[in-house]
């Protein structure tokens, strides 16, 4: 199997998501535009790993912005299109279906912008939103710290008010995109009094301020997608505080919810394409004297993944329907995160079983199947049961809030 086969992500057979019939014209227009523009902008990169590099992702994102495909859900008066969630989901679905890469400024668009729209002052909206809309400023999210991940309320990065500024000292970790970000949605402790959750504020912090330093962390894949970020007497203007002082916990929790309704749509669509590629891999690989797809254990595992994928589509439909009525995803959000991340890991484990020792061949080896992408993505999926809440935390949420089990 060559790389083009692995990344031939156009999946004509996949059923459509919510709103498909009513929004058919919107979907078809988008599909035609993507089918024309992606090959035109990507050229030779189609079917190669470089299509998913930060450089191309930024170029493609800029192209979407220039075509007006930005701020889809934002109110018109802020430069957006006021599209309902169903249509936003279709946009994400069609991009994934066309094989377009994920955005780099996904935190800016998916989390920061809706949070500023909900909680920002008129001045903050004027100041920060246009540069997200036109993609000229990339955002990161500074929540986790060495002593505060699952237990986010334990954050220790201090912000002390001195006149017109907050003086910030402390460390964040696992901060995705911090090495290229211009701004950070930063969670800080503004008082040590009272319950930990009641002493947290949110700052919109410029990453280029004196005293901010970023150190990339190399992952198991060899790439460095996230970073440590150090704040050493960084003076953040007080008018960059989002919402009231010490009222940041609710803002941080709401920010996570904005993203959850559409977050999994492209990931589920991509997983469908990967599962199709896995079936082709199994049909084209011989192991233990027969084609892998003829092995009952492999067939059964592929069948299970198809069932999980179907369940994920149903979950995603329900979450979108609820979100359109203003209901946050709640326990369903945990179920879909858990099922998606664990099924995605299983898919790539199965690829490793099918490939056997060939799975270890890296992109530099001429005979590496799919230029080593199966192995690289297998390693990357290890992060998926940790990011956006670990599997253990989501199981706790399902057990306590969904099933009413004791703590
Ligand atoms: C690829 C990737 C990108 C990320 N990007 C960002 C980002 O941009 N910004 C950001 O702020 N953070 C980011 N994170 C951090 C992520 O949010 C944290 O890793 C996650 O919340 C877990 O926190 P932790 O790593 O401190 O682990 P810990 O919370 O220390 O957990 C360690 C282990 O203990 C388990 N555990 C902890 N508490 C409980 C409990 N109550 N019950 C049962 N088990 C428990 C966990 O499940 C885990 O297995 C990213 C992480 C990854 C992997």
Whether residue 81 lies inside any domain: the answer is: yes
Nearest CA to ligand 1 atom 13: 174
Q: Which of 146, 147, 149, 171 best tests ligand 1's pocket when mutated (most atoms within 8 Å of CB)?
A: 149
CATH number at residue 155: 2.40.110.10
Catalytic residues: 259
Distance between Cα 141 and ligand 1 center (Å)? 14
Give the Cα separation of 196 and 211 in Å (integer): 26
Whether residue 127 lies inside any domain: the answer is: no
Same domain, 172 and 306: no
Distance between Cα 389 and ligand 1 center (Å)? 6
Whether residue 125 lies inside any domain: the answer is: no
pLDDT tens, N- to C-terminus, the chain (407 residues): 443 444 444 444 455 554 555 688 899 999 999 999 999 999 999 877 788 889 999 999 999 999 999 999 999 999 999 998 888 888 988 998 899 999 999 999 999 999 999 999 999 999 999 999 999 999 999 999 999 999 999 999 999 999 999 999 999 999 999 999 999 999 999 999 999 999 999 999 999 999 999 999 999 999 998 999 999 999 999 999 999 999 999 999 888 877 776 778 888 888 998 999 999 999 999 988 899 999 999 999 999 999 999 999 998 888 888 888 888 888 888 999 999 999 999 999 999 999 998 888 877 777 777 778 899 899 999 999 999 999 999 999 999 999 999 98
132 membership: H or E segment, kind and range: helix 122-133
Same domain, 262 and 390: yes
CATH number at residue 14: 1.10.540.10
Range of the domain at 272: 251-402
Same domain, 48 and 168: no
The three-state (H, E, C) secondary structure of 177-208, written as one string: CCCCCCEEEEEEECCCCCCHHHHEEEEEEECC
Same domain, 16 and 92: yes
Give the Cα separation of 231 and 224 in Å (integer): 20
**Cα dist from 10 to 86, 109, 269, 277, whole Å:** 21, 25, 10, 11
Same domain, 173 and 288: no
pTM of the model: 0.92
Same domain, 385 and 255: yes
Nearest CA to ligand 1 atom 18: 149
Same domain, 47 and 85: yes
DSSP string, 25-52: HHHHHHHHHHHHHHHHHHGGGTTSGGGG
Nearest CA to ligand 1 atom 44: 392
Nearest CA to ligand 1 atom 37: 150
Residues with CB under 6 A from ligand 1: 140-144, 149-150, 174-176, 226, 383, 386-387, 390, 392-393, 396
SS3 120: coil
Whether residue 131 lies inside any domain: the answer is: no
Boundary-marking domain end, from 68, 88, 119? 119
Same domain, 264 and 391: yes
Whether residue 58 lies inside any domain: the answer is: yes
Boundary-marking domain end, from 173, 207, 242? 242
Whether residue 132 lies inside any domain: the answer is: no
- Give the ligand 1 atom nearest the CA of 147: 26
Whether residue 151 lies inside any domain: the answer is: yes
Contact present, 100 and 40 (Cβ < 8 Å): no
Contact present, 176 and 214 (Cβ < 8 Å): no
Distance between Cα 212 and ligand 1 center (Å)? 23
- Give the ligand 1 atom nearest the CA of 145: 26
Same domain, 259 and 156: no
Give the Cα separation of 327 and 344 in Å (integer): 27
Boundary-marking domain end, from 242, 265, 294? 242
Same domain, 368 and 278: yes
Q: How many domains does the chain have?
A: 3
């Amino acid at each position: 199997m060559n790389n083009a086969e692995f990344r031939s992500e156009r999946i004509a057979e996949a059923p459509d998501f919510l709103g498909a019939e009513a929004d058919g014209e919107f979907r078809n227009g988008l599909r035609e535009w993507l089918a024309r523009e992606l090959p035109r902008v990507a050229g030779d990169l189609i079917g190669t790993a470089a299509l998913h590099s930060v450089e191309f992702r930024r170029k493609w994102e800029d192209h979407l912005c220039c075509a007006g495909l930005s701020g889809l859900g934002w109110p018109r008066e802020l430069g957006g299109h006021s599209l309902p969630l169903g249509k936003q989901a279709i946009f994400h679905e069609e991009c994934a279906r066309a094989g377009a890469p994920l955005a780099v400024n996904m935190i800016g668009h998916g989390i920061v912008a809706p949070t500023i729209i909900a909680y920002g002052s008129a001045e903050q909206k004027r100041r920060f939103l246009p540069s997200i809309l036109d993609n000229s400023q990339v955002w990161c999210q500074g929540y986790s710290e060495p002593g505060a991940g699952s237990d986010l309320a334990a954050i220790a990065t201090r912000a002390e008010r001195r006149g017109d500024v907050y003086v910030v000292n402390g460390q964040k970790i696992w901060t995705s995109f911090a090495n290229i970000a211009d701004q950070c949605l930063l969670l800080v402790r503004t008082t040590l009094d009272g319950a930990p959750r009641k002493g947290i504020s949110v700052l919109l912090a410029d990453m280029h301020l004196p005293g901010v330093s970023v150190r990339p962390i190399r992952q198991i894949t060899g790439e460095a997608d996230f970073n440590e970020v150090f704040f050493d007497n960084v003076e953040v203007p007080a008018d960059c505080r989002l919402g009231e002082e010490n009222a940041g916990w609710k803002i941080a929790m709401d920010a996570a919810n904005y993203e959850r309704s559409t977050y999994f749509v492209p990931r589920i669509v991509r997983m469908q394409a990967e599962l199709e590629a896995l079936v082709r891999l199994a049909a084209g690989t011989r192991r233990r004297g027969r084609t892998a797809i003829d092995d009952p254990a492999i067939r059964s595992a592929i069948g299970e993944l198809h069932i999980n994928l179907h369940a994920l589509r149903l979950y995603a439909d329900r979450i979108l329907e609820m979100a359109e009525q203003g209901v946050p995803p709640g326990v369903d959000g945990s179920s879909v995160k858990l099922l998606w991340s664990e099924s995605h890991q299983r898919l790539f484990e199965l690829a490793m079983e099918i490939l056997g020792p060939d799975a270890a061949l890296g992109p530099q080896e001429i005979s590496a199947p799919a230029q080593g992408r199966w192995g690289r993505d297998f390693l990357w999926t290890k992060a998926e049961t940790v990011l956006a809440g670990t599997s253990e935390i989501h199981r706790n949420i399902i057990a306590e809030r969904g099933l009413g089990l004791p703590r």
